[in-house]
Structure 1
Amino acid sequence: MKIAVTGASGLIGSALVPALRADGHEVLRLVRRTPRTADEHRWDPQHRRIDPALLRDVDAVVNLAGTPIRPRPFTAAYRQAVLTSRTDSTRTVSEALATAVAEEPGRPRVLLSASAVGYYGDTGDRVVDEQAPPGEDFLARVGVQWEEATGLAADAGVRVATLRTGLVIDRGAMLVRVLGTVFRAGLGGRMGSGRQFWPWISLADEIGAIRFLLTAERVSGPVNLTGPEPVPNAEFVRDLAAAVHRPAVFPVPGVAIRLALGEFGRSSVLAGQRAVPARLQAAGYRFTHADLPAALDAALARR
């Protein structure tokens, strides 16, 4: 296949591109800066600009572009950047794919477009699959608009799957880096009540699921990219502490998290989703890391 990837320099994209090439695919990387190599091509999602010829003969686009969600207060400017970086990039590739379909209507195409389990908002301990409705907080509203931005491609006949990804477990992931440092210092513990579910997925399975979905012709719409066993925060931090051989005895009060991080703390740390990969498993995907300890061990052992 000929595959275009946006967000190729991020955590997921930087692992996905070599994996796709190892599978024998031709990969184009869409970048916002001046291209440095023959496989890089300039686009400007902020102004909805892309050369239509870039996607004319591609079989698939994997859209991973978007400002990272970081542990910081959600200022008005940051909220705007989080939202528009996602919707602008998604609309840009969707429009370009719709144009490509109009010019060559018989060619099958697929768009795998990033989303997040934050789509569901805080769901408590209720098991959540892809049929669950969206939540009402800021990140949930972002998720709704992010996924709606694929509409032009879907209306043109492109097979679209939106990838509702959980917390990616990898040595290079911000979550693992920050919490790992805290736990190695012997200062870690549950956050808030510790009962909120944190849906996770290993980087290996995130990449594996994307590769699987590229050719899973019957799968479209939302797909939860999460491990099969989401765990409460208290269990998550206990497993992480065990993986770095440190205790988890210093809980962080919810009020401190809310005061320090505002809405990020409320929606991304103290809230959670017991999200399960129902559609992925029904389609036949087999997980490399089916439980959190295995995912953490693999992440912390990887160099």
Structure 2
Amino acid sequence: MRISRVAVAGASGLIGGALTRSLRADGVEVVRLVRRAPRSQDEIRWDPGARFVDAGDLAGCDAVVNLAGAGVGSRRWTETYKARIRDSRVLGTAALAEAIAAMDSPPRVFVNGSAIGYYGRTGDRIVDESAPPGEGFLPELCVRWEAATAPAERAGVRTVLVRSGLVVARDGGAWARLFPLFRAGLGGRMGDGGQYWSFVSLHDEVAAIRHLLDSEELSGPFNVTAPEPVTNREITAAMGRVLKRPTPFPVPAAVLRTVLGEMAGDVLGSARVVPKRLLESGFRFTYPGIDEAVRAAL
């Protein structure tokens, strides 16, 4: 399917910004959804908190991509901030899905961000898209987040749910915090280091979203993670190898719980998630290994 015009919510974020650059480099017109008054013709105003977006502003778009939401790892999870995380995703998704459903000529595809937090803590057990949701704040959030796409799907719009892993990137996400520590020789495993981290390079994250946009037969949930999840201990070793720095300073679990609060459970928890449906669809990763993904980020 040839896509010529795409509306992107969350275009100022790590993934949304990279996707916007990639699409524009290939001549695709990108319209960005913004929360302020538009400053140019390539911007549309929306208010995710109020579940508002004018369906007329989406006219002519072949696709809508929603990657908006408050940062999960940006600060400690107080009840107030958890509500902000939840509302920024669920209400924003609902606004877009309802606007799409109200259009006379809706876009052909709605790609909505989600996360492997859907599965919760899986330990050493390998999980793919057939696994049920886990328990806790993040799984419950993801279930509501994905359910908010229902109006678009009921209207007959192909709907894709992108369950992203931990994106390896220099300028955002978890790795933006890790790189300075490891460069300074202060990096180390977290807890016992045995927990699995399902990662994906930023390059492959964007390539996967574009693959899902272009493949007319694909819908439903897709895990966007590298094919082989690795443990935090293995990630620590890879960071040391690539950056040529020692990794002598493990962070005890008790310290993480004190500093991060409830979020520490997800840092210390293990999620061994694989991209079964993505691989079956013919997608191939450019940076499947952790060393390659770290080098690509640098």
TM over 0.5: yes
CA contact (8 A) 2:15 2:206 kept: yes
Question: 2-side partners of 1:73 and 1:24: how far apart?
Answer: 40
How far apart in 2 are the matches of 1:247 and 1:50? Answer: 50
Could you tell me which residue of structure 2 aligns to residue 278 of structure 1?
A: 276
**Which residue of structure 1 lines up, in the alignment, with residue 148 of structure 2?**
149
Q: Give yes or no for the alignment of 1:48 onto 2:51.
A: yes
**Among 294, 297, 303, which residue is 2:295 paired with?**
297
Matches within 5 A, 1:220-231: 220-231=219-230
Q: Aligned pair 1:164/2:163, yes or no?
A: yes
Instruction: Tell me if structure 2 keeps the 8 A contact 1:56–1:97.
Output: no
One-letter identity of the residue aligned with 1:276: V
Q: Is the 8 A contact 1:71 1:264 kept in 2?
A: no
Secondary structure at the counterpart of residue 205 of structure 1: helix
Is 1:262 equivalent to 2:257 in the alignment? no
Of residues 10, 27, 31 in structure 1, which corresponds to 2:30? Answer: 27
* Distance in structure 1 (CA, Å) of the matches to 2:116 and 2:218: 18
Question: Which residue number in structure 2 is paired with residue 61 of structure 1?
Answer: 64
SS of 1:70 mapped into structure 2: coil
> Using the alignment, how far apart are the partners of 2:85 and 2:147 within structure 1?
15
SS at match of 2:15: helix
**Aligned partner letter, 1:26:** E
Listed as ranges, the matches of 1:83-98 within 5 Å are 83-98=86-101
What amino acid does structure 1 have at the position aligned with 2:43? Answer: E
Aligned length in residues: 295
- Any residues of structure 2 matched to 1:211-250 within 5 Å, and which? 211-250=210-249
User: Whole-Å Cα distance in 2 between the matches of residues 177 and 65 of structure 1?
Assistant: 19
Question: Is 2:191 the partner of 1:192?
Answer: yes
In the alignment, structure 1 residue 173 sits paired with structure 2 residue 168: no
Distance in 2 between residues matched to 1:223 and 1:207, nearest whole Å:
13
**d(CA) in 2 for partners of 1:298 and 1:215?**
24
Letter in 2 for 1:275: V
1:80 Cα shift?
A: 0.3
Aligned to 1:130: 129
Residue 108 (structure 1) shift: 6.0
Q: Which amino acid aligns with 1:233?
A: N
Q: Distance in 2 between matches of 1:71 and 1:261?
A: 10
The residue aligned with 1:109 is 108
| 1:6 paired residue among 9, 15, 22 | 9
Q: 214-223 or 4-13, which moves further after superposition?
A: 214-223
SS of equivalent residue, structure 1 residue 43: strand
Letter in 2 for 1:143: C
Q: Distance in 2 between matches of 1:182 and 1:127?
A: 30
Amino acid at match of 1:236: I
TM-score after normalising by structure 1: 0.94
Q: After TM superposition, give the deviation of residue 71 of structure 1 in Å.
A: 5.1
Contact kept? 2:6, 2:64, Cα under 8 Å: yes
- SS at the partner of 2:228? coil
1:158, distance to aligned residue in structure 2 (A): 0.8
1:47 shift after superposition: 0.8
Contact 2:6-2:63 within 8 A present in 1 as well: yes
Partner SS for 2:287: coil
Structure 1 range deviating more: 32-41 or 151-160? 32-41
Q: Among the aligned pairs, what percent are the same residue?
A: 51
